[in-house]
Amino acid sequence: MSNAGKFAVKGSERAALKGARPIGPTNPHQLIEVSVILKHRQPLPTGRTIGNFMSHGEFRAEYGADPAHVDRMKQFAQENKLLLLERGDEALRRTITLAGTTSAMEKAFGIDLVDYENPEGSYRGRTGPIYVPQDCSFVRGVFGLDDRPVAKPHFRYRNTSRSFGTRASNNSYNPSQVARLYGFPEDLTGAGQVIGLIELGGGYRPADIQQYFQSQGLQPPLIQTASVDQAKNRPTTAQSADGEVMLDIEVAGSVAPGAQIAVYFAPNTDRGFQDALSMAVHDQLLKPGVISISWGGPESSWTAQLMQNFADVAQEAALLGITVIAASGDQGSSDGVDDGQNHVNFPASCPYVLATGGTRLLSVQGEITSETVWNDGAQGGASGGGYSVAFSRPSYQANIAGQQGRGVPDVSGDADPETGYNVLVDGQQEVVGGTSAVAPLWAGLLTLFNQKLGSRVGFINPQLYAAVQTENFNEITSGNNGAFTAGPGWNPACGLGSPKGTQLLQNVFGAPAQQQVQSSSQAQSGREVRTRG
């Protein structure tokens, strides 16, 4: 078909997965849903002081989608025999949901959809860019046409059959023990707060939740689930993504036992990931103050439109006073890409996200005796970290040494499965590690801060980098994640280090009215996606 005179959506170009084989056109009668992202009504504003964030109503009125653009998309749907599924939050989330047949979608967006066979499963895909009419150039992204899996969970079970020689350890911790080692405030529970968890697969069993928290001497948290794009809580076996879901719930719920937990289940697709963050950030029912993400993939595996639109929503979260946290990955400085180059994990590389790396934590009688970079080799896993090729360095990292891309991670915590967390997954007692554990650990800590301050800390990266490192973090000065070695100051193996919880609360957030959140104009250079990777 000819797309002459049409607008190619920026960054929407797709290529087939490596090793995928086309097996024929997608059934023209197959029903497909897509999410169309619209531009902000005007550029996002400068930052707000802590405790003085925007409300959702203010955001919608000032920076949500232009109603005229929403109306044009309704007309676009009619012109292309598509159904617009109204949710009522189109302007707030800048997201239009369209449904229709394969043939209608192909005509509407100037693409051809093909079914592919792939070693990890079949998927519906496309190549090249997505097109819309010239008068729809306000479209910033279209997600759902391609349904390939996009992310992997960043958790690892302890390998009981593998010998690590002198590194062998019988250490494992309950999450509350890790919290005590890191000096988390013990007089706080997170009461009145909500922690959001984004899950792209797996599920939990209520009986396991009850049993686990009772075994910890804790009241089980109130857990509420939200379905994103028809995904549900669907537990199967301990070897599935259930391990991720249970790890996230059990770590966050143990660290902040008084907080409620909202789990956003979404499909493992670009549409599912984008919609999950957008729905969590703009959820006015459950209202999470902190959102933890333990899923991701190398920057090179994402489209520029996904990274840019996801970063936009993370910036919206900052304006609304919501902290977004993401694990930095478990495959060291290569991030699992076999090309001899260094790679970082997305969404940890997003400059509006707090990226969490991993350490190996040893202790005796409640005191830390050693903390080094987590690196158990190519098979055992290592802390993800390095420099982004998609996002330039944000201003809060202006003083760090190294390359010019956004540096990852920002902070760290215990992640080595050999010094991992005691969890219960589908009735099985397991010891689990991975940077996946560090994201909910930090989510729990910041939830305690929110309770203490009576307001949300929101986007805290600028404050953390401005803090005196040795007073507020356990510096990680030993070990490497492959290409990058730990040392004094920030480093691409473990960032600023692991938290000294109470000191952070007192020193960084002791006078919240005077703490300034980074403005969107300051971070703008760090938000622009430069390449697809």
pLDDT for the residue numbered 528? 43
Distance from C-alpha of 74 to C-alpha of 467, rounded to nearest angstrom? 49
Chain centroid offset of residue 38 CA: 21
Backbone angles phi, psi at 365, to 5 degrees: 50, 45
- Per-residue model confidence (pLDDT) at position 161: 58
Scanning the structure block, which residue is given the tokens 């349904």?
147
pLDDT tens sequence across 386-424 = 999 999 999 999 999 888 999 999 999 999 999 999 999
Q: Provide the mean pLDDT of the chain.
A: 92
- Rounded distance between C-alpha atoms, residue 329 and residue 435, angstroms: 6
- What one-character DSSP code corresponds to residue 394? P
Q: What CA–CA distance (Å, rounded) separates 373 from 387?
A: 17
Mean pLDDT of 480-488: 97
Is 436 a catalytic site residue?
yes
Instruction: Express each pLDDT in 311-341 by its tens digit.
Output: 999 999 999 999 999 999 999 999 999 999 9
pLDDT band (50, 70, 90) for residue 523: very low
- Taking a C-beta distance cutoff of 8 angstroms, is the pair 259, 194 a contact? yes
Q: Exactly one of 242, 244, 270, 430 is catalytic; name it.
A: 244
Tokens of 255: 């660290």
Kindly indicate the confidence band of residue 436, based on its pLDDT and cuts at 50, 70 and 90.
Answer: very high
96 phi and psi, to 5 degrees? -110, 130
Hunting for tokens 């600028």 — which residue is that? 462
Query: Which residue out of 106, 146, 248, 283 is catalytically annotated?
Result: 248
Average pLDDT, integer, range 361-367: 95
Given the DSSP bridges, would you call strands 194-199 and 260-265 parallel, antiparallel or unpaired?
Answer: parallel
Distance (Å) of CA 511 to CA 48, 50, 504, 505: 15, 10, 12, 10
Q: What is the pLDDT of residue 5?
A: 86
Select, from the ranges 156-165, 172-181, 518-527, the one with the highest average predicted confidence (pLDDT).
Answer: 172-181
Indicate which residue of 363, 395, 436, 520 is catalytic. 436
> What whole-number distance in Å separates Cα of residue 464 and Cα of residue 496?
8
Residue type, 108: A
Q: Looking at domain 152-527, which of 3.40.250.10, 3.40.50.200, 3.30.565.10, 3.50.50.60 is its CATH number?
A: 3.40.50.200
Amino acid in position 248:
D
Among 247, 250, 251, 283, residue whose Cα is nearest residue 264? 283
Is pLDDT above 60 for 225?
yes
Relative to beta strand 323-327, strand 354-364 is parallel
pLDDT band at 170 (very low <50, low <70, confident <90, very high): low
Q: Is residue 525's pLDDT more than 60?
A: no
- 310 by DSSP, 3-state: which? helix
Per-residue confidence (pLDDT) for residue 42, from 0 to 100: 94
Supply the Cα-derived Rg of the chain in whole angstroms.
22
Tell me how far apart the alpha carbons of residues 460 and 472 are, in angstroms, rounded to a whole number: 14
Question: Whole-angstrom Cα distance, residue 293 to residue 98?
Answer: 26
More confident residue, 489 or 119: 489
What distance in Å separates the CA atoms of residue 326 and residue 206, rounded to the nearest whole number?
25
Q: How confident is the model at residue 257 (pLDDT cuts 50, 70, 90)?
A: very high
Q: Per-residue pLDDT for 307 more than 70?
A: yes
445-479 residue pLDDT tens: 999 999 999 999 999 999 999 999 999 999 999 99
Tell me the percentage of the chain whose pLDDT exceeds 90: 88
Q: Which two tokens stand for residue 483?
A: 């290409």
Give the three-state DSSP class for 215: helix
Write the single-letter amino acid at 364. Answer: V
Q: How many CB atoms lie within 10 A of CB 96?
A: 27
H/E element, 405: strand 405-408
DSSP-derived 3-state class of residue 260: strand
Residue 351 has pLDDT above 70, yes or no: yes
The distance between the two most distant Cα atoms of the chain, rounded to a whole number of Å, is: 71
Q: Cα separation of 289 and 317, whole Å?
A: 9
Catalytic residue check, 426: no
Q: What are 28-67's pLDDT values in tens digits?
A: 999 999 999 999 999 987 655 556 799 999 999 999 999 9
Q: How far apart are CA 421 and CA 406, in angstroms?
A: 30
Q: Are 154 and 327 contacting, i.e. CB atoms less than 8 angstroms apart?
A: yes
* Residue ranges, CATH 3.40.50.200, the chain: 152-527
In the residue annotation, 338 being an active-site residue is answered as: no
Model confidence at 119, pLDDT cuts 50, 70, 90, reads confident
- How many Å apart are CA 207 and CA 235, to the nearest integer? 12
Which residues have C-beta within 8 Å of that of residue 434, sequence separation ≥ 6?
153, 154, 155, 156, 247, 294, 327, 330, 358, 381, 415, 417
Give the burial string for 312-321 (b: 16+ CB within 10 Å, else e).
Answer: bbbbbbbbbb
* Angle between helical axes of 270-281 and 304-320 (0-180°, round to 10): 10
**What's the token pair of residue 248?**
């996230």
Read off the pLDDT band of 120 (50, 70, 90): confident
What was the pLDDT predicted at 519? 37
Residue type, 95: T
What is the rounded distance in angstroms from the CA atom of residue 352 to the CA atom of residue 32?
31
pLDDT tens for 2-29 read: 788 899 999 999 999 989 999 999 999 9
